[in-house]
Structure formats: C-alpha cells, structure tokens
C-alpha cells in the first residue's frame, strides 16, 4: 500500500507535525438489493486519478457528513440519496493530505447514475475485480468481506 498509511484515530500523523489537521470526507457505500456495491474511478486531474474508490468528497464549511454526501453524490454521479447510514470512520495519512473518511451505507436513492466528471463506474462483488483500488478504500472491502463471511476481498 504505497503512499498512504492507515492510522488509528488519535494516532499522531506521520508527516506535517502534530498540528496537521485532518480533512473530513464523506463517502458512500451504495448497496444494491442483491448486495453489489458501487465503485467509481477517480477523475483525471485529481490525485490518484483512475484508482477505484467509493464515491464521495470533502465536507464544505458547516456541512454534516450526510449533507456533504448528499451534495457530492448529486454533483458527481447524478443521484439523490435517501438515508445515509453511518458505518465506519477511518483516518488515512497520505503524502498529500491527512483525511478522515466517514463511510456511510446508502441503500436507497432516486435518479439514474450519471458520471458527471467522466468517471467509470462498476457494480462490484467480492472478490473485487477492479484494480487498482485507492488505499483508503481497501479497508471497506475487508469490512464488507467480514460482514459477509467472505474469505478474500480482492483478486490480488
């Protein structure tokens, strides 16, 4: 997992000193009724372009995780989500940023998927065939695998 370190919440960040502030990110794990989950590729021009991730983005000032997720998923993939179910929070220390990822499960939405930033998308199953997966998205595959009693999260 080059270039990123998963750190337990409360651990001191690896770079930038103790004052390095985490950037809050809201991330959606969209679950279809058959259990498939949505992966999208990071658009050109962003760090880790082309890597597979779960859709989402940074919180804007004053937003809650759910508000940010609702806005980001509408802006980026064209859907309006129903409830966002808070799931797990993970701190990831990248060279470019320290991010706090708040993952939410989303089981219902309206609208058709429309990749508004030129991303690719895939309804994925375990083991995940899409590659490469963003380091900060890999643990989610393990969590899903654990929930489902599935032995291997990726094909690698």
Judged by the rule CB under 6 A, the positions of this chain that interact with ligand 8GT are: 25, 27, 46-48, 53-58, 92, 94, 97, 99, 101, 134, 136-137
- Of 83, 84, 81, 105, nearest to 30 by C-alpha is 105
Beta-strand runs (E) in 55-154: 56-58, 80-81, 84-93, 98-106, 109-110, 121-124
Q: Least distance to ligand 8GT from the beta carbon of 136, Å?
A: 2
Least distance in Å: CB of 26 to ligand 8GT?
8
Comparison of 81 and 101: residue with beta carbon closer to ligand 8GT:
101
Q: Are 30 and 109 in contact (CB under 8 A)?
A: yes
**Residue (97 or 125) nearer to ligand 8GT, CB:** 97
CB of 114 to ligand 8GT, least distance (A): 16
Cβ proximity of 26 and 69 under 8 Å: yes
Burial, 122: exposed, middle or buried (Cβ in 10 Å; 0-12, 13-18, 19+)? middle
Q: Which is nearer to ligand 8GT, 37 or 94 (CB)?
A: 94
| Residue 80, helix vs strand vs coil | strand
Nearer to ligand 8GT, 48 or 109 (CB): 48
Residue 44 CB, nearest approach to ligand 8GT (Å) = 11
């Amino acid at each position: 997992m080059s270039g990123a370190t998963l750190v337990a919440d409360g651990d001191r960040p690896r770079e930038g000193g103790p004052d390095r502030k985490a950037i809050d990110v809201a991330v959606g794990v969209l679950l279809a009724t058959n259990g498939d989950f949505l992966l999208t590729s990071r658009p050109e021009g962003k760090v880790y372009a082309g890597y597979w991730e779960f859709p989402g983005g940074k919180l804007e000032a004053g937003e809650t995780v759910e508000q940010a997720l609702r806005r980001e998923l509408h802006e980026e993939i064209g859907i309006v989500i129903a409830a966002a179910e808070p799931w797990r929070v993970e701190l990831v220390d990248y060279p470019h940023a320290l991010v706090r990822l708040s993952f939410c499960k989303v089981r219902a939405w309206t609208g058709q998927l429309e990749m508004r930033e030129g991303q690719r998308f895939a309804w994925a199953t375990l083991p995940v065939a899409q590659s490469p997966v963003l380091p900060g998205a890999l643990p989610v595959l393990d969590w899903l695998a654990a929930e489902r009693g599935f032995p291997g999260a990726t094909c690698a």
